[in-house]
Amino acid sequence: MPKILFVASEAHPLIKTGGLGDVAGSLPAALQSLRADVRLLLPAYHDALARAGKLKTVARCAIENLSAPVRILEARLPGTGLIVWFVDYPPAYDRRGHPYLDAGGRPWPDNAMRYALFADVAVRIALGRANMKWRPDVVHCHDWQTGLVPAWLAMEKIRPATVFTIHNLAYQGLFPRETFEALGLPAALWSHEALEFHGWMSFIKGGLVYADRLTTVSPNYAREIRTPEFGCGLDGLLRHRAGRLTGILNGIDDKEWNPARDPFLEKGYSSRRLQDKLANKLALQREFGLPEQSGTPLIGMVGRLVHQKGIDLVLETLPGLMHRPIQLVLLGSGEAGYEEALRAQAARYAKRLAVRIGYDERLAHMIEAGADMFLMPSRFEPCGLNQLYSQRYGTIPIVRRVGGLADTVADATKARLKTGSATGIVFEEARASAMLAAIDRALVLQQKKPAWKRMMLAGMRQDYSWRHSATEYLRLYRQAMRDKRTPPRKPTVRG
């Protein structure tokens, strides 16, 4: 079985800002249960260490120009037996709160240094140069924060294979040329065939250009990012590498997200005890200060408040939406403008709209369980996890047909309603009117009780556990180990 070094900048339950945290917190354990030998590597953020329990120092390595040695700390990922290694260099990572942003919501000014150091240590471990015995066959990297790992490893004659997973192509880790120089990267990497991107240094290109294999988190997004509409300027490069790029759908942690045993719920329920979902709806209304009305359709939303998620569409729709006999509960944090606008609207429609700004795991679970419908009007969505959680919780997702949402939600067409295979409501255009029409369609369907219930049950029956996708990753790791032996590529396409 291959030995995998899983390198990520966040992992639930230690530190999480979004779906990457869910994936890095659950896929490694799923791989391990398929007998792979996995180590998860994370930066030693203050909050992550605080949640990690018992820690021991397993290695120290001196790195040129650093004032102190970097330590590798070891712990077990809570709830799993998985070994986690932390890259501990306090000047870079010993900060409270958000891993990427300061208290004012701006990226930490030294992020390039922080993630270059993280990548540097990953490379040392991968090459057996970190005073540790264990060496991986495959290094699996995630998103721009780890992009330098495949680039540096590609320069080595003897090295493990590399896999780079794109969770979100819109975040590229772009920094000015001076940063490239300050990091002391080899001059050969300053080229449009390497890390340069229109005069900037791009961390993500390190992964996209140099990894032996590329993946993204749904088959549909794997196709979309090869088009100008979704390629964020990198579609040319991704078309060039299309033969090495696959989409593997994310799984979910089905223990953590299980309505029958969810400690955050008012009352557990399952497809056999569906009536108990109602207690969670009332609890949610109570929690958010909305009138406790079992018969009023309740729509939930949880997510980062950014353009990607279509928050502007929701704001634009509100006047119309608030005329309908519904309630809307929203939990999220992100761009200050959206936060303020949502707060203001919640004050205006106090009986129908409740907004909680912040990050709250318990409320996220309560919303998945208590809402009747879950809204995701995303502009793009590499995979999306909330629509998967919704289905597991018998909460009907209303989603845009994009990215992983298109792969995982079966629209309630007449034909599907007949066969009982519909799992949600899907709309096409990123426009307020299209979203409103989809919500109206859901409201009409909800009146048809047997059809609605069948849809809830169809969603709850889906298997979104990691079993299938983790097996696909294992196959891919073997493939990457074979690919590595072929001579290095010379990319020729401008990114």
Q: Does 304 bind ligand ADP (CB under 6 A)?
A: yes
Q: 331 is in the binding site of which of ligand ADP, ligand GLC, none (Cβ under 5 to 8 A by kind)? A: ligand ADP
Binding segment for ligand ADP (CB under 6 A), chosen from 83-91, 223-231, 298-306, 392-400, is 298-306
Q: Which of residues 160, 310, 332, 382 is near ligand GLC by CB under 6 A?
A: 382
Half-sphere exposure of residue 51: CA atoms within 13 angstroms, side-chain side: 18
Q: What is the largest CA-CA distance in the chain?
A: 68
3-state secondary structure (DSSP) of residue 332: strand
Q: Output the smallest distance, CB 163 to ligand ADP, in A.
A: 19
Q: Does 386 bind ligand ADP (CB under 6 A)?
A: yes
**Beta bridge mates, 12:** none
Q: Does 381 bind ligand GLC (CB under 6 A)?
A: yes
CB of 253 or CB of 411, closer to ligand ADP: 253
Q: Which of residues 196-215 bind ligand GLC (CB under 6 A)?
A: none
Q: Which of residues 116, 217, 353, 432 is near ligand GLC by CB under 6 A?
A: 217
Q: Which of residues 310, 384, 394, 403 is near ligand ADP by CB under 6 A?
A: 384
Q: Does 167 bind ligand GLC (CB under 6 A)?
A: yes
CB atoms within 10 A of CB 200: 16
Which string of x and - marks every residue 242-271 that binds ligand GLC (by CB under 6 A)?
--------x---------------------
The answer to whether 298 touches 372, Cβ cutoff 8 Å, is: yes
Total of chain residues touching ligand GLC, rule CB under 6 A: 14
CB of 11 or CB of 290, closer to ligand GLC: 11
**CA 437 – CA 251 distance, rounded (Å):** 30
Q: Structure tokens of 313?
A: 């569409």
CB of 297 or CB of 382, closer to ligand GLC: 382
**CA 347 – CA 455 distance, rounded (Å):** 34
CB of 159 or CB of 309, closer to ligand ADP: 309
Contacts of 425 (CB under 8 A, 6+ apart): 373, 396, 397, 398, 399, 409, 411, 412, 438, 439, 441, 442, 445
3-state secondary structure (DSSP) of residue 492: coil
**CA 146 – CA 171 distance, rounded (Å):** 12
**CA 134 – CA 66 distance, rounded (Å):** 24
In terms of C-beta density within 10 A (0-12 exposed, 13-18 middle, 19 or more buried), how is residue 492 classed?
exposed
Which string of x and - marks every residue 313-332 that binds ligand ADP (by CB under 6 A)?
------------------xx
Q: Structure tokens of 343?
A: 């707060």
Contacts of 24 (CB under 8 A, 6+ apart): 6, 8, 10, 11, 12, 40, 42, 142
Q: Which of residues 124-163 bind ligand ADP (CB under 6 A)?
A: none
The answer to whether 22 touches 11, Cβ cutoff 8 Å, is: no
Q: Which of residues 398-437 bind ligand GLC (CB under 6 A)?
A: 404
The residue nearest ligand GLC at its CB is: 19
Binding segment for ligand GLC (CB under 6 A), chosen from 254-262, 340-348, 376-384, 480-488, is 376-384
Q: Which of residues 7-36 bind ligand ADP (CB under 6 A)?
A: 18-20, 22
Q: Which of residues 1, 18, 236, 471 is near ligand GLC by CB under 6 A?
A: 18
CB of 345 or CB of 390, closer to ligand GLC: 390
β-bridge pairing 196-197 and 200-202? antiparallel
β-bridge pairing 373-376 and 174-175? unpaired
3-state secondary structure (DSSP) of residue 319: helix
Name residue 103's amino acid.
Answer: A
CB of 206 or CB of 384, closer to ligand ADP: 384
Q: Output the smallest distance, CB 68 to ligand ADP, in A.
A: 34
CB atoms within 10 A of CB 81: 9
Q: Which of residues 364, 399, 402, 409 is near ligand ADP by CB under 6 A?
A: 364
Q: Output the smallest distance, CB 138 to ligand GLC, in A.
A: 19
Binding segment for ligand ADP (CB under 6 A), chosen from 239-247, 297-305, 452-460, 483-491, is 297-305
Q: Which of residues 21-40 bind ligand GLC (CB under 6 A)?
A: 23
CB atoms within 10 A of CB 487: 5
3-state secondary structure (DSSP) of residue 25: helix
Q: Which residue has the tokens 């590529």?
A: 489
The residue nearest ligand ADP at its CB is: 19
Q: 341 is in the binding site of which of ligand ADP, ligand GLC, none (Cβ under 5 to 8 A by kind)? A: none
Q: Output the smallest distance, CB 4 to ligand GLC, in A.
A: 17
Q: Contact positions toward ligand GLC, by CB under 6 A?
A: 18-20, 23, 167-168, 217, 250, 381-385, 404
Q: Would you tell me which residues interact with ligand ADP (CB under 6 A)?
A: 18-20, 22, 302-304, 331-333, 359-361, 364, 383-386
